[in-house]
């Protein structure tokens, strides 16, 4: 029954996308010259394909038995719908809409030009380079642009191969990371939940597809964070993935202590300490050249999101400071966030032994209390938890337990990971 529900949901998503594609033509009906003949033909072809996919999914739902063939078609349909949605979002939004997406791209170009992004980067130059709108640009409280680069080095070093091969806009790479997450979800989900999980995943991504068009970078760090959590039994790989994630964006630093505690619960303090050391080493290797060349600018840039006087912004209590009670000092949010972080870590260390999924959920709570709890980050929380839930459901199914019971013990913790091709 769950597989059939998934097929129905996927069919609804395909038919809705078909209607929206047709709407693009009707929207320009009185001004068709705004759409090239190729665009009109493409939109019409996609509308036909999507509606046809929806009908096939409906027919599959009526089969006496949902088999592997239906699962494969559902996966192909989900990947096609996501690819088409991302292509449309990137095509209709001609350039980056967020500086967090444009900045790493421009920094990678600077690095290939043998310049140090931590000393030569200018947000104004990046805006001119990509023709970005100014409404979503990071600014200080006085309204001036935050000109310096503000992310760890992995954020642009990992993009160098793409820029080197002549890709001027890396938004498709971030979109491709979402497709990899979809494949990972399909792989780790139990058989009876694969189609429903994919349908939920597609629904989550379509909720605000404009983020991909704007160049949101979250999928790029969500992938290594989730893999680091899944591969806890192969702890060296897990540690390397965690270190790489930490070099992409500062938000991942909140996940690090929780993931290390999860390794401690599963493997003990020696492997937890080794995990922390390997993660720190990977982070250091990716950042070391820039620390050596420009230690002051590097440190100021990487710590700038926490220390610079930026305006309050977000979906948590920071909205009070942004719109209702601007007199609340920033220190209030900092103290609240640090207090909640400390309490969450202590609780997870003492009580989270049987609940590793908390390592993916608890980091969001202190971030919710922070001065800048941006909505673009929180939109990927359901994606992370869906992947974690399916991984745990598969583990419980292999152990013969209930998929609603997500407890874990040290003895059985690595069985699912090993079944996915891992080794201690």
CA atoms of 169 and 95, how far apart (whole Å): 8
| pLDDT tens, residue by residue, 374-393 | 877 888 999 999 999 999 99
Helices (H), 160-268: 160-164, 171-188, 194-206, 210-214, 218-230, 235-246, 255-267
Band of the pLDDT at 408, cuts 50, 70, 90? very low
Please check the confidence at residue 39 and state whether its pLDDT lies above 80: no
Q: What is the pLDDT of residue 211?
A: 80
Q: What is the pLDDT of residue 398?
A: 66
**Which positions ≥6 away from 409 have C-beta within 8 Å?**
354
SS3 246: helix
Dihedral angle over CA of 147, 148, 154, 160, nearest 10: 60
| pLDDT tens, residue by residue, 164-210 | 998 989 999 999 999 999 999 999 999 999 999 999 999 999 887 77
Q: Percent of the chain having pLDDT more than 70?
A: 86
CA atoms of 104 and 100, how far apart (whole Å): 7
Residue 382 near residue 204 (C-beta atoms within 8 A): yes
Q: What is the pLDDT of residue 208?
A: 76
Mean pLDDT to the nearest integer, 38-48 = 76
CA atoms of 220 and 177, how far apart (whole Å): 6
| pLDDT tens, residue by residue, 228-282 | 999 988 889 999 999 999 999 999 999 999 999 999 998 999 999 999 999 999 9
- The DSSP annotation for 364-392 comes to HHHHHTSSEE-HHHHTTHHHHHHHHHHHH
Residue 31: both structure tokens together: 């001004």
Q: Percent of the chain having pLDDT more than 90?
A: 56
Which residue, chain included where needed, has tokens 């001027």?
168
SS3 7: helix
CA atoms of 392 and 10, how far apart (whole Å): 23
Please check the confidence at residue 227 and state whether its pLDDT lies above 70: yes
**Which positions ≥6 away from 273 have C-beta within 8 Å?**
none
Of 107-111, 136-140, 345-349, least confident by mean pLDDT is: 136-140
Give 32 or 21, the one with higher predicted confidence.
21
Q: What is the pLDDT of residue 417?
A: 46
> For the purposes of burial, counting CB atoms within 10 Å of the CB of 145, is it exposed (0-12), middle (13-18) or buried (19 or more)?
middle
Longest dimension (CA), the chain: 69
Band of the pLDDT at 402, cuts 50, 70, 90? low
What is the 3 state secondary structure string of 57-124? HHHHHCCCCCCHHHHHHHHHHHHHHHHHHHHHHHHHCCCCCCHHHHHHHHHHHHHHCCCCHHHHCCHH
Q: How far is CA 85 from CA 46, 91, 98, 215, in A?
A: 10, 10, 19, 14
**Which positions ≥6 away from 116 have C-beta within 8 Å?**
110, 290, 293, 294, 297
- Work out the angle between the directed axes of helices 194-206 and 2-27 (0-180°, nearest 10): 30
Q: How many helices (H) and strands (E) does the chain have?
A: 23, 2
> For the purposes of burial, counting CB atoms within 10 Å of the CB of 249, is it exposed (0-12), middle (13-18) or buried (19 or more)?
buried
CA atoms of 20 and 54, how far apart (whole Å): 14
Give 420 or 148, the one with higher predicted confidence.
148
* Local structure of residue 254 (DSSP, 8 states): G
Q: What is the pLDDT of residue 409?
A: 47
> Which one, of 315, 342, 318, lies nearest residue 330 by Cα?
318
Q: What is the pLDDT of residue 135?
A: 67
Residue 130: both structure tokens together: 């990509």
Tell me the pLDDT of the chain averaged across its residues.
Answer: 86
Q: What is the pLDDT of residue 130?
A: 87
Please check the confidence at residue 297 and state whether its pLDDT lies above 50: yes
Q: How far is CA 247 from CA 156, 221, 257, 362, 416, in A?
A: 10, 9, 15, 21, 28
Please check the confidence at residue 424 and state whether its pLDDT lies above 70: no
């Amino acid at each position: 029954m769950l597989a059939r529900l998934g097929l129905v949901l996927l069919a609804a998503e395909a038919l809705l996308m078909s209607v929206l594609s047709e709407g693009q033509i009707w929207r320009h009906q009185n001004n068709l010259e705004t759409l090239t003949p190729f665009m009109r033909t493409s939109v019409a072809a996609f509308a036909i394909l999507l509606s046809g996919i929806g009908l096939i999914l409906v027919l599959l739902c009526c089969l006496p038995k949902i088999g592997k063939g239906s699962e494969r078609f559902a996966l192909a349909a989900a990947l096609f719908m996501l690819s088409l949605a991302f292509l449309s979002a990137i095509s209709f939004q001609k350039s980056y809409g967020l500086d967090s997406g444009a900045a790493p791209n421009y920094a990678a170009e600077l690095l290939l030009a043998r310049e140090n992004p931590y000393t030569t980067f200018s947000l104004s130059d990046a805006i001119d380079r990509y023709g970005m709108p100014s409404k979503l640009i990071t600014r200080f409280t006085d309204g001036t642009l935050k000109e310096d680069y503000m992310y760890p080095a992995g954020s642009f070093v990992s993009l160098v191969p793409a820029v080197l091969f002549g890709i001027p806009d890396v938004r498709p790479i971030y979109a491709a990371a979402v497709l990899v997450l979809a494949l990972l979800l399909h792989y780790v989900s139990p058989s009876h939940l694969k189609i429903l999980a994919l349908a939920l995943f597609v629904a989550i991504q379509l909720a605000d597809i404009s983020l991909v068009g704007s160049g949101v970078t979250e999928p790029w760090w969500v992938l290594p964070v989730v893999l680091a959590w899944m591969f806890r039994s192969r702890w060296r790989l897990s540690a390397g993935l965690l270190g790489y994630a930490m070099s992409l964006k500062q938000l991942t630093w909140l996940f690090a202590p929780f993931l290390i505690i999860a390794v401690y619960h599963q493997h003990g303090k020696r492997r937890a300490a080794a995990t922390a050391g390997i993660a720190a080493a990977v982070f250091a290797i990716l950042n070391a050249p820039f620390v050596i060349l420009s230690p002051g600018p590097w440190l100021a840039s990487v710590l700038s999101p926490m220390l610079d006087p930026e305006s309050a912004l977000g979906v948590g209590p920071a909205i009070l400071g942004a719109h209702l009670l601007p007199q609340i000092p920033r220190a209030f949010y900092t103290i609240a966030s640090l207090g909640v972080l400390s309490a969450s870590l202590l609780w997870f260390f003492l009580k989270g032994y049987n609940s590793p999924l908390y390592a993916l959920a608890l980091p969001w709570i202190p971030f919710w209390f922070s001065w800048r709890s941006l909505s673009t980050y929180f939109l990927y929380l359901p994606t992370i938890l869906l992947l974690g839930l399916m991984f745990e459901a598969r583990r419980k199914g292999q152990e013969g337990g209930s998929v609603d019971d997500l407890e874990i013990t040290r003895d059985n913790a690595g069985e699912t990971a090993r079944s996915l091709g891992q080794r201690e």
